[in-house]
Structure 1
Amino acid sequence: MAWSNMLSYFSFPYLLGLFQGRLRPAEMGTHTIKSHGARVARDHVQDWLILLLLLVIEIILYEIHPFYRFVGEHMMTDLKYPLKENTVPLWSVPFYAVLFPFAVFLLVYTRRKDVYDLHHSTLGLLFSVLITAVITDAIKSAVGRPRPDFFWRCFPDEIELYDRWGNAKCHGKESDIREGHKSFPSGHTSWSFAGLGFLSIYLSGKIKAFDHKGHVAKLCVVFSPLLAASLVGISRVDDYMHHWQDVFAGGLLGLVVAAFCYSQLFPPPYNNEGWGPYEYFRALEESRSSTNSGESINALDVQPLNNVNAVNQQVKNHGNEFDALEELESGRM
């Protein structure tokens, strides 16, 4: 019986039900792209312009020349790890760190038809990734720490040359030497934790992972993106592209930025309303206020009409009394 209950958490109907949150049927589908999309876009034009600015800054920082830190002969002992290919290619990072979370956001939208959730989750994800990328590449270029495989980038023919101060005089491929001075922090890791970390927090709010009902199986959903990001970080150490300190710093940076960006748009996941963005609840409150004010206006419209009817009835009654008095005076009664 216990195993059947546990397996039921991973059934397709249950997983779909997790994304329903506390929405009542009357409130679902009330804020769609068609009905509220233009309004949301107008309200956040500045945010999207800032995103474009961050993208331009990131491109500049990626192309900028890093600081060539002093690398002496005695330091080469720790920089002679093999020069390997990337287990996780650079081109794949946007796919699993951006496009995959966005696909999850679209899935949630097909269930809830809430444009606020779709827009804010996408906006928060892009801010999380781009802010992390800008900070990461700015630090990379400023620090200029050599990678663990720097020796083979600097001296591919194993012929070591040093100047009079003992600094390495590299004669390898310029692009390899340049990338060899970009070890701290790990860009793969920071991007992964920025995108997948944001997704993890997002899912924890959607499935109410902290509702105090003891459904520990929900944590499997929450930790899955974090596990994937951690494996990416481990691959960077296994490929001798980064020192473990680079990976740790990159993961911490990406996760912290993701948490900050999420908190700007959504309540905390442990909150009772942590399943929806702040703006959704504001829009819902405005619609309810409009409905209530409309009902109050209708009630006020009915009251004068009732008063007019009462006055007319009184006039009619007084008219009958006046007719009776005239008949009494004329002797007809």
Structure 2
Amino acid sequence: MASPFAALAARLAISAEGALKRNLTLDRSVAIARSIWPQARVAPVGSFANGTSLHGSDIDLVVDTRGIYSRAGAGIWAQKMEDELIKNRITKPTTTAVHASARVPIVTYIDSKYLIGVDISFTTNGLTNTEYVRRELDERPYMRTMIILLKYWLKSRRYNKVYTGGLSSYGLALTVIGYFNVRKTVKARNCTVEDYHRWIEERDYQRLLVDYLAFWSCQWKLASTMLEPAEGAIYKKGTKGHCGKARNSLLCIADPTDPTNDVTNGTYKIFKLREAMKVLRNKLETVQQDVELDALENIFKKTGREWPEDDQSRQKFKGKSGKAKSKQIKMRKIRKPGMVGTAIRRVTFSAD
């Protein structure tokens, strides 16, 4: 399925040099973590680990303390990790922060040598999630290309963060995996597995993306149903225990690695996102086979208003997105010797 879409994904993904810098950054971080917890499993998770990172992306690293995890303990470990990183000059005090009170305590910093951002968490969820996605993408590599293109599209519209109502990288991967598993399940009722693979091969990336966007923007009833990506099945919300109550305004995707977890619980801009998907689908349907890469990239990149100001569909789904702010500034309480009370350290992270 060689096409301009595959070439664009290669342009947007991390380069070989970028991957090398991130691996060297990982080596430095892993060495510090293992010096503190010799028996811990330390491994990269998320997009870099499964091969869907974009240029300028950070690294997510997990320290698995092998069964002794607790939220209170993880906050202490995060502080210890920060102290050792600064002590060993892996990072600087001005480019690091600890979020001990977060749902998952995390250390965020920028490697002072390679200028790569790193997030270190102390939980095991990311390891199993990454292994699942990597296995699925290795079996069907065309999904990796689609995810890279869709991540770039989401990022340019600031729909790539759950805390701003969008989709996380893991959530996006499950939408792609889930779509193809649903199609495989549906087609298997009327054809063989060989026929299904032939259906894939007969479509280039343009057709696959258009079909995917049609499913998510029009065909699937998001308000009343939920998706089980691993099964390739759609259930009524609440029947599988992932959605305890009717939540018509929220997307619901079950976590294949944790049946109790609704991955997209915070994606509250789903209907606005669906409208944007319709716009992208319409644009992709008109793309010619000999399209230039710059022109194709402009379709995925936001280059101004996508709807006229007087368009009723835009007004209907407008919401409060204008008030959401990107979390580029991290805050951390610090206490100095002899100080009464606490102060706030303001740390600003710049893109690499």
- TM-score w.r.t. length of structure 1: 0.27
The structure with the larger Rg is 1
Q: Which has the higher contact order (CA 8 A, sep 6+)?
A: 1
Give the structure with the larger helix fraction.
1
Give the structure with the larger strand fraction.
2
- TM-score w.r.t. length of structure 2: 0.26
